[in-house]
Amino acid sequence: MTSNDETTETSATTEMTATGDADLDGFGTWRALTPLMDLVTPMALRVAVTLRLPDLVDEDGSDIGDLAAKTGTDPDALGRLLRHLVGRGVFAEPRPGTFAANGTAALLRRDHPSAAWRWLDLDGFGGRMDLAFTGLADTVRTGRPAWPAVFGAPFWDHLDANPELSASFDATMAANAGYGELAEGYDWPALTRVADVGGGTGVLLAELLLRHDGLRGVLVDLPDTASRARRYLAGRGLADRCETVGGSFFDELPGGADAYVLNRVLHDWADAEATAILRRCADAAGRHGRVLILESPIISGADPAMFAEMNLRMLVLAGGRERTVDDYRALASAAGLRVAAVRDVTARHTVVECVPVTAGT
């Protein structure tokens, strides 16, 4: 015999089986949707990184009271956070109230070469960037970036007004960027002077100059960032081979370089602004220079899922967009340039070479 409730549930299951949806009944629905809807684990992981728990939790076990004292947190709340992460495979609890690091937690330590922690730290740019997605609904409704609605000012203005966040942005962009491979994978020795436009603190330019003795450089970025770049380049022993210029890439750029590099700059901007930046580079390059657009290989369209994610991310943050190679051809044409070649230089870098439309025609 079955109860009325059991009969109803059996009938519902039979009906769903007939429509092919039996596996989505009850807990099946929850299991199918949880990987798409869960915000608890992503936030718990970010809080753990922000509190530096991967660095503080010992592999042999750390007492929850000691961890709470070191992190300035409530022991009960911290224990709940850690137990949730234990259930997701981050950390272990070998004894009640004692937590231990494991292989997954080790990936999030500050000394790990991946620097993955930078993308999760809520006190830095990486975590702040993800918090901007709390305004995604507004972006979808209006087509405008969410950053101003969430943080009170447009993306670049916010960074400019917060030096620590701006420095975190520069460090995050440079972390584990593969610039050494890039410096060896392209024909930089054929050049004599390279201008890194929007070059951050100079990490890429330093790699180029250190590997190619005949190369000289100029870095252009906003004044505060250019000051940090000047100190960084001097610390690498390159002060006499590299000029730093504090200014906007929407203004006139210094001439005299035979290549103007835009390293993951254009995807931050909508088409009108991206075209203006390219035009400034084209004007500075003149008839005999070139403009090198450095972007991720996703511009080839080989990874549509990653392209779609980054396309949405750039809109939410700053109103920018990812572009295909054909999109870059259109931008270049609007700026008085043409795409002469597209080269996949490393697994992380594609170079779109642009020259004046009069060159070679």
CB 288 within 8 A of CB 221: no
From its phi and psi, is residue 214 left (phi > 0), alpha (psi between -120 and 50) or beta?
alpha
Amino acid, single-letter form, for residue 67: L
CB 302 within 8 A of CB 311: no
Query: Which two structure tokens, joined as six digits, stand for 196?
Result: 């890194």
Whole-number pLDDT of residue 129: 94
Q: Where do the DSSP E strands lie in 97-249?
A: 98-100, 193-197, 216-221, 242-246
Give the list of residues 6+ apart from residue 159 with CB closer than 8 angstroms, or none: 165, 166, 169
Distance CA 72, CA 70 (A): 6
Give the list of residues 6+ apart from residue 91 with CB closer than 8 angstroms, or none: 53, 57, 82, 85, 99, 100, 101, 102, 104, 105
Domain 177-356's class?
A: alpha beta
Whole-number pLDDT of residue 1: 38
**All structural domains of the chain with their residue ranges:** 4-37, 40-106, 124-172, 177-356
Whole-number pLDDT of residue 175: 81
Assigned CATH topology for domain 40-106? Arc Repressor Mutant, subunit A (1.10.10)
CB 300 within 8 A of CB 291: no
Q: How far is CA 300 from the centre of its chain?
A: 18
CB 347 within 8 A of CB 300: no
Task: Tell me the catalytic residues.
Answer: 267
Look at the block and give the residue holding tokens 């684990």: 41
Q: Give the single-character DSSP code of 253.
A: P
CB 254 within 8 A of CB 195: yes
The 10 Å CB-count burial string (b at 16+, else e) for 128-159 is bbbebbebeebbeeeebbbbbebbeebbbebb
Predicted structure pTM score: 0.85
Q: How far is CA 315 from the centre of its chain?
A: 13
Look at the block and give the residue holding tokens 């090198």: 292
Closest CA to 128 of 157, 105, 150: 150
Whole-number pLDDT of residue 15: 40
CB 212 within 8 A of CB 151: no
Helix (H, G, I), strand (E, B) or coil at 38: coil
Distance CA 201, CA 181 (A): 19
**Order of strands, edge to edge, in the sheet holding 62-63?**
62-63, 98-100, 92-95
Pick out the chain residues at pLDDT < 50. 1-20, 22, 361
CB 172 within 8 A of CB 236: no
Domain 124-172's class?
A: mainly alpha
Burial tier of 316 (Cβ tally within 10 Å: 0-12, 13-18, 19+): buried
Whole-number pLDDT of residue 4: 41
Interstrand relation of 98-100 and 92-95 (parallel, antiparallel or unpaired): antiparallel
